[in-house]
Structure 1
Amino acid sequence: MLERLSWKRLAGELFLFCLPAFILAIFIGHLPYLLLVSVFAALGWNYYNQLKLSHWLWLDRSITPPSGIWSWEPLFYGLNQMQMRNRRRRRELALLIKRFRSGAESLPDAVVLTTEEGNIFWCNGLAQVLLGFRWPEDNGQHIFNLVRYPEFRLWIQSRDFSRALNLQLNNEHHVEFRVMPYSEGQLLMVARDVTQMHQLEGARRNFFANVSHELRTPLTVVQGYLEMMVEAKLEEPFRSKALDTMQEQTRRMDGLVKQLLTLSRIEAATNIDLNERVDVPVMLGMIEREAQTLSSGRHEIVFTVNNQLKVFGNNDQLRSAVSNLVYNSVNHTPEGTRIEVSWQQTPQGAKFEVKDNGPGIEAQHIPRLTERFYRVDRARSRQTGGSGLGLAIVKHALSHHHARLDIISQMGVGSCFTFTLPQRFIVPHTQQAEIFVKNK
């Protein structure tokens, strides 16, 4: 086990160099001259090892230092140990940096490291996607050259990083910026995409505004007639008209509240039991009778149903989806329209379709039809009692069954609303036969 150098070891080494001089002086004398030769030999030995060390430090590309003996052995060994420790520390530091960058790449936010002057020296992948940075081309660029917004420049220059900056970028994304000191002379900037939060906040505001607007009209009508009844006694036929109007408006409010509760219940449902056997043909038989009653002979309604096609799913939600599609077609198409309802098995799964030859829907309205309270013709929807919630209920009910509502419409030709439940939702005929035998 090697130990560090000491005065005793150096003195012992010098004595070994001088020992031959003492031995020769016994026989031939001239001790001073022999000691001088021994000292020069010791100096030459040390100079030789110094040259070896210098050659290794400056010219030699080998990892390990040269070997040495005597007092130079612990020096070379110590250098070797120090080099190994440095290599180990560099590996640990490189691994730490790798872990940091891997963690930063995994963050759901854009991360940018800059100097206090604002020069970028690292950014993660999301910063390249969200902020449009290019790496490593933008290394050393000033942040103001890449994020060119006056609000951002004023916020950075103010150095008041206790508050976040919300900014709408040119790519239509809403981004929340936060800056914090990272290390001495460095800043860490985090940019979070809050576009979805802004959309949800806008949807929330629109939802409350629409609900308030939808309830205000019937409440105003009912309140007005009640005030008139309190102030004066109404005579026929005005009294009957007032009562009929109030009943109509209360039914409208009741229908709106029921649809809101249905939509809320469907959206809040997280654990849906999709193993329930739903007898869709029986369901469609009941809906057909209700649709005929609702139409009162104003439409030609044709149902084409595969009576053997039953599915797994949630009965209430599937009924809400199917009935809303049928009732919407009856309510929102003019008299004389032919409405075709189909429930058939296809290679893709169980397909439900409601098709009419009505006036159709303009193309710009189709992407927004499933939004809450969205109406193509608001005046006509109020006349038919529509609330704009039916297709929103259909959309959310189908999402729980891994299906999507497809809408195809052409002006002057008609509209077609379809969805297809995946093949795995179809009840096999063997299970249907077993159920039939048990019921029999």
Structure 2
Amino acid sequence: MNPKVVFWVPVGIRLAFLLGGAGLVWWWFGVEAGVAAAFAGVLAAVFIQLKYLYQLSEWLEKPESGRLPDGWGEWTDIFARLYRLRRDDEKNQAELTEWLARFRQAMHLLPDGVVIMDDVLFLEWCNPAAEEHLGLQQARDKGMRVTNLVRSPDFMDYLILGRYDQPLTLNFRGRKLVAHIIPFENRRQILVTHDITETQRAEMMRRDFIANASHELRTPLTVIAGFLEIAASMELDPETRAAHLKLMTEQSHRMQHLIEDMLTLSRLESVDHPMRPEHVNIPALLEQVLHEGRALSGGKHDISLEVHGGDVMGNMDELHSAFGNLVSNAVRYTPAGGAIRLRWEDTPTGVQFQVQDTGIGISPEHISRLTERFYRVDKSRSRETQGTGLGLAIVKHVLLRHSGKLNISSEAGQGSTFTVSLPKSLVSTNVEPAQAA
């Protein structure tokens, strides 16, 4: 129906009632009484309209604090519509508040820093990652100019010059960050910071690993290739041929050990190979490690073992690899006639395996880097002893998978002590009284 018709029909009905009532008064009491009745009716209608207009005005001033009246006539429909609008608005406001809370939670959980600035670079909001990356504090720095808070010439030039087509890479507060400005609305900008410190460190480690591995493999391959060329180009006497074959065999074994160690490291670092704990018979394991150490020594060292601790839950192959690497290092870097003591014992916090030798020792400046891949204190001696440079890196990763720690105590010329500590949570059962070998 036409809205104009909807409006005029009830108005016409009310006017007809008013005029009909005034006519009846006129008929019974005369003209003056009829006019007075009509005037009183008009005044009453105006008063009612003014009353509802006033109530509407009061409600519009504070819609959240007042209740809409029920109304009369057309006002009933008006107030009903206003009530529905207010209810819809409250629903929309609740949804908006919920979405805003979710947005803020998402921004707080983002690993990248997010800073919202106005067109003159004053801080409006930032998330915790941005606070960590740039040293900002939302409560303290809100309303301050970002270029006054982040003291970096490259960063200030990037913001002030407004060349935002390319991101900026900068070193700030010990981190390497990639910063990017995104225009937002007409008078706001978003600064996004991404921390690439660990990514670059991992990439550098990968490049170093490939370079070192290539270098380690190239040396034995060069030796083998050289001897093969000599053998192909000339006749060799049996003694020379045997010496060449011996050297080639040694170099091939060196490559084999290197590749095996690299595969072991790769497996230890892979998330596709989670550790599956099993009961590890420590006396049996250490007896095997002792036997291998004595075989490698060839009777040149005094190697002994003491067991005064319990079995553990862990991966037997990985623990064998870690303990074996520690013992083989002790054999390689201890001169003939030296002593190597192996000891397994309970501690207040768990159990520990200790390898103590009377070898050449290590200067303090090298100790913190010993578990790095291919790091060697003396490269020439490492080649002589046929080490791959990966043994202690393997030990470190095995202990990481077993929640253990490696402590190194050493002094040049005074021998070394390598101590593996495993937590009490891995202890399984106690062994029978002290065993020694």
TM-score normalized with structure 1 length: 0.83
Paired AA for residue 88 in structure 1: K
Is the deviation greater in 66-75 or in 312-321? 66-75
Aligned residues: 424
Residue from 82, 97, 102 that aligns with 1:99 = 102
Structure 1 counterpart of 2:198, one-letter code: Q
State the one-letter code of the partner of 1:343.
Answer: W
The 1-side partners of 2:124 and 2:233 are apart by 78
Asked if the contact 1:278/1:310 (under 8 Å) is kept, the reply is yes
Correspondence for 1:109: 112
Q: Aligned residue for 1:124? A: 127
- Which residue is equivalent to 1:438? none
1:68-120 C-alpha deviation (Å, 9 max, x unpaired)? 43333333343333233222222221111111111222223222334566544
Structure 1 range deviating more: 312-321 or 32-41: 32-41
Equivalent residue letter for 1:282: A
- CA 1:77–1:216: 2 relative to 1, 3 Å: same
1:157 aligns with 2:159: no
C-alpha RMSD over aligned residues: 3.4
Establish whether residue 82 from structure 1 lines up as the match of residue 85 from structure 2: yes
Contact persistence 1:18–1:39 (CA under 8 A) = no
Q: 1:59 to 1:281 in 2, by over 3 A?
A: closer
Stretches of structure 2 lacking an aligned partner (at least 5 in a row)? 433-437
Residues 56 and 66 of structure 1 are in contact (CA less than 8 Å); yes or no, is this contact kept in structure 2? no
Q: CA shift at 1:270, angstroms?
A: 1.5
1:377 maps to 378
Give how far 1:312 is off. Answer: 3.1
Q: Is 1:11 equivalent to 2:12 in the alignment?
A: yes
Deviation of 1:149 (Å) = 4.9
> Does the C-alpha gap of structure 1 residues 389 and 22 become closer, same or farther in structure 2, counting only changes over 3 Å?
same
Say if 2:341 is the partner of 1:337.
no
> 2:149 & 2:16 partners in 1: Cα distance?
72
Residues in 2 aligned to 1:257 and 1:152: alpha-carbon distance in whole angstroms: 49
**Mapped pair 1:218 → 2:223:** no
Return the offset for 1:392: 1.1
Q: Give the aligned partner of residue 435 of structure 2.
A: none
AA in 2 matched with 1:274: P
Structure 1, residues 245-267: CA drift from partner, whole Å, max 9, x if none?
A: 43433332232222223323333
Deviation at 1:319, TM superposition (A): 1.1
Give 1:174's aligned amino acid.
K
Evaluate the alpha carbon distance shift between residue 264 and residue 12 of structure 1 in structure 2; reply closer, same or farther with a 3 A threshold. same
Letter in 2 for 1:89: N
| Corresponding residue of 1:305 | 307
CA distance in 2, matches of 1:15, 1:88: 42
Contact 2:330-2:357 at 8 Å conserved across structures: yes
Identity %: 36
**Partner of residue 193 from structure 2, selected from 185, 191, 194:** 191
Q: Identify the residue that residue 320 of structure 1 maps to in structure 2.
A: 321
Say which SS state the counterpart of residue 162 (structure 2) adopts: helix
Equivalent in the alignment of 2:263: 261
**Greater alpha carbon shift after TM alignment, 211-220 vs 166-175:** 166-175
| CA 381–81 in structure 1, closer or farther in 2 if over 3 Å, else same | same
Q: How far apart in 2 are the matches of 1:118 and 1:21?
A: 73
Q: State the distance in 2 between where 1:260 and 1:117 align.
A: 54
Contact 2:305–2:342 at 8 Å: present in 1 too?
A: yes
Shift of 1:43: 3.0
Take 1:299 and 1:332, find their aligned partners in 2: how far apart are those partners?
Answer: 11
Q: Does residue 1:248 correspond to 2:267, yes or no? A: no
With structure 2 as the length reference, what TM-score do the two structures score?
0.83
Change over 3 Å in CA distance of 1:261–1:166 after alignment to 2: farther
